[in-house]
Amino acid sequence: MKKVITYGTFDLLHYGHINLLRRAKELGDYLIVALSTDEFNWNEKGKKCYFTYEQRKKLLEAIRYVDLVIPEENWDQKVQDVKEFRVDTFVMGDDWQGKFDFLKDYCQVVYLPRTPEISTTQIKQELKTR
């Protein structure tokens, strides 16, 4: 079984997220999503989420492409996750191009093109102007 992993916050889930998850799942048989916890988002990324970790986790678990959701609690857990879950392919959006190449020692690293016309940041900005 070929395992794929991706990471993210997935707040205000939208079709760009779905596109990423679908394409990630197409690269293997089993998709793991490491979902940023509320504490990690706030303390390390400086992001306040609209939905809580548990709410975002339930949304992701309802998507047919996602097989397992695990917590992302820090920047440095990726190597450990790849080893623990025996991951074959690590996937991120191409806005992170090159940032995770250090994982090539452990698995294949793939940067997928983002869906250009949608982002959570864009949604938040448009909601502010209404």
Active site residues: 45, 47
Burial of residue 4 (CB within 10 Å: 0-12, 13-18, 19+) is buried
Q: In angstroms, rounded to a whole number, what is the distance separating the alpha carbons of residues 8 and 50?
A: 14
Q: In angstroms, rounded to a whole number, what is the distance separating the alpha carbons of residues 32 and 46?
A: 24
| C-alpha Rg value of the chain to the nearest Å | 14
